[in-house]
Amino acid sequence: MISDLRGRDLISDLDFTKEEVETVLEVAWDLKKKRALGERHALLQDKTLSMLFFFSSTRTRASFESGMAQLGGHAAFMESRTTQISHGDTEKELGEILGRYFDGIAIRHVDWGIGNKYLNNVASASRVPVLNMQCEIYHPHQCLADIMTIIEKKGRDLKGKKIVVSWAYASSYLKPISVPQSLILQMPRFGLDVTLAHPPEFKLIPEIMEQAQEQADKYGGKFEVVHDMEEGFKDADIVYVKSWGPLLTTQDPDEGKKIQDKYKDWITDSKKMALANKDAIYMHPLPADRDVEVTSEVMDGPQSVVFDQAENRMHAQKAVMALTMR
Ligand code: CP
């Protein structure tokens, strides 16, 4: 267990070593237990977190805000469009200034080619940790909740178990690619064999694919890509299916939608779930396009763990905040 993560940023999934991620998980379970027992755990009393959003959120905002209050601190909700950021505050100014007001700065910025750079620029100017609430490349706090949930459901020995990270059709909007990218980076470190399934136009960033392969090689797991949803589901222990935009193919929303509309049959239904192992779990970070990405039968069915997964966002983030913002 690593005892000192004070002052550390969490922007990429690989910013924390595997041992450091294990530390986060141990603390998260401890805090989850304390909350279940009603034990006070005001580890961040008098501390404050700035939560800066350039894009909408339900779970991320609510879980960071509630988590910070449970730790005895306060989280301030800020939006780019209702602050002077829209009139020219720069990353350097924000890093310097928010870093003097707050003990941590959490940012969501998913604009293609902009968000991740923005977070890193703020971090360079900030004296306090910068936490990634999702950029266009990574969603590390989601992924921490995901591995926490997988261990709770499948045990600590995940060696040889298969997770399929699959694309799904959605009609609402072109969703970021950060969740599948975080998953393929983090899951191999825990011994899982990772199958990435997507139509050809929905590729992920080549450098992230290389890093995912490196993690799989390092930890002795398999990493493969298939272009067939059914093939991906076969013999899976964990079925993690969500939509993302064809952003490596086109960033034009109309063209992207046309491409996306070719694959309406990429929906998770009970027939596809039957291809996975009998005790497979179904995961989704939410929000999902119900009965488009996934049938309500699967989403509300016995294999679905989506609400436990959403709950774990709060416990995992409390652990990161308690460890980095002390
Ligand atoms: N999973 C997730 O990040 O949810 P929100 O977009 O609602 O924060």
pLDDT (tens digit, 9 = 90+) per residue, 251-294?
A: 999 999 999 999 999 999 999 999 999 999 999 999 999 999 99
Topology alike, domains 13-139+313-324 and 140-309: yes
Residue 3 pLDDT greater than 90, yes or no: no
Q: Is the CB of 60 under 6 A from ligand 1?
A: yes
Q: Is the CB of 309 under 6 A from ligand 1?
A: no
Question: What is the architecture, at CATH level 2, of domain 13-139+313-324?
Answer: 3-Layer(aba) Sandwich (3.40)
Residues 104-144: tens digit of each pLDDT: 999 999 999 999 999 999 999 999 999 999 999 999 999 99
Q: Quick one: which H or E segment has residue 109?
A: strand 104-109
What single DSSP character describes residue 238?
E
Measured between alpha carbons, how far is residue 20 from residues 4, 60, 102, 323 in Å? Answer: 9, 22, 24, 10
Ligand 1 atom with the shortest distance to the CA of 310? 1
Domain ranges of the chain: 13-139+313-324, 140-309
Report yes or no: 179 and 244 within 8 Å, Cβ to Cβ.
yes
d(CA 150, CA 152): 5
The pTM of the whole model exceeds 0.85 = yes
Multiple choice CATH, 140-309, 2.60.40.10, 3.40.50.1370, 3.10.100.10, 3.40.640.10: 3.40.50.1370
Ligand 1 atom with the shortest distance to the CA of 313? 1
